[in-house]
Amino acid sequence: MSLADLRPYPRLSFVQGLYESAHYSEELFSNEVVDKSIRISDRAAIVNLMIGLDGYTISSGIFPKYLQGDAIVAVPLDESETMRIGYVLNKGRELSPLGKIYIDAIRQYEGRP
């Protein structure tokens, strides 16, 4: 699937505030011009709108089935961009148990040990 294939559908973008910079967007291709775009600041709302509006968002593709079952499907894009996923941790702090699970999931997804 390409960006051109997504044109008929509304793009749903997660925003974290009024003054969010496009340079620090959570999504690839956030500067791409689209006909229909909805900016959402609530993660639960974006999930419900993806289902209700037949919309899309561009993300890592790591989406737990327990949230919406098979209603949301991750489809790889045939584009040349690379998404880098990481985390920030204060010096002297350790990851929480949930944080460790997250990092393990990312490593499995990347095929790294």
DSSP 68-95: HTTSS-------S----------TT---
Pairing of strands 37-40, 11-14: parallel
Percent of the chain beyond pLDDT 90? Answer: 12
Q: Could you give the CA distance from residue 108 to residue 70 in angstroms, rounded to a whole number? A: 21
Range of the domain at 72: 4-81
Contacts of 64 (CB under 8 A, 6+ apart): none
Average pLDDT value for residue range 50-60: 85
* Residue 101 lies inside a defined structural domain of this protein: no
Is the whole model's pTM more than 0.85, yes or no? no
* Residue 36 lies inside a defined structural domain of this protein: yes
Confidence of residue 26 (pLDDT cuts 50, 70, 90): low
**Total tally of structural domains belonging to the chain:** 1
CB 39 within 8 A of CB 17: no
Q: Tokens 């003054």: give the residue.
A: 19
* Residue 102 lies inside a defined structural domain of this protein: no
Q: Could you give the CA distance from residue 60 to residue 102 in angstroms, rounded to a whole number? A: 13
* Residue 44 lies inside a defined structural domain of this protein: yes
